[in-house]
Amino acid sequence: MTLAEHAIRLATLHDHAGFTATRFDGGAPLGGRVAVLPSAFNPPTLAHVGLLQLGLEVQGVGRAAAMLTTNNVDKGLFGAPLAHRMGMLLAIHEEHDAIAVLGSNAARLMDQGLALDAAFPGVGFDFIVGFDTLVRLFDPKYYDNMNVALDQFFSRHRVIATNRAQATINAVRDYVREAVIQPYAGRIIVRELDHRWASLSSTSVRDAPGDSGESEALTPAVRNYIARHALYAAPV
Share of the chain above pLDDT 70, in %: 93
Tell me the one-letter amino acid at 152.
Q
Q: Which residues of the chain have pLDDT under 70?
A: 73-77, 209-215, 233-236
Structure confidence at residue 70 (pLDDT): 92
Give residue 73's pLDDT.
Answer: 63
Q: What is the pLDDT of residue 213?
A: 43
With contact defined as beta carbons under 8 Å apart, do 88 and 222 qualify? yes
Helices (H), the chain: 3-15, 46-56, 82-95, 109-119, 131-137, 146-156, 169-176, 195-198, 202-207, 220-229
Any residues with CB less than 8 A from the CB of 3 and at least 6 apart, and which? 83, 84, 87
pTM of the model: 0.93
Distance CA 236, CA 230 (A): 10
* Domains parsed from the chain with CATH numbers: 3-200 (3.40.50.620)
Q: What is the mean pLDDT of the chain?
A: 91
Give residue 72's pLDDT.
78
Q: For residue 214, what pLDDT is reported?
A: 46
pLDDT digits (tens, 9 = 90+) for 66-103: 999 998 766 656 778 999 999 999 999 999 999 999 99
Preceding amide of 43 cis, omega within 30:
yes
**Dist CA 197 CA 94 (whole Å):** 21
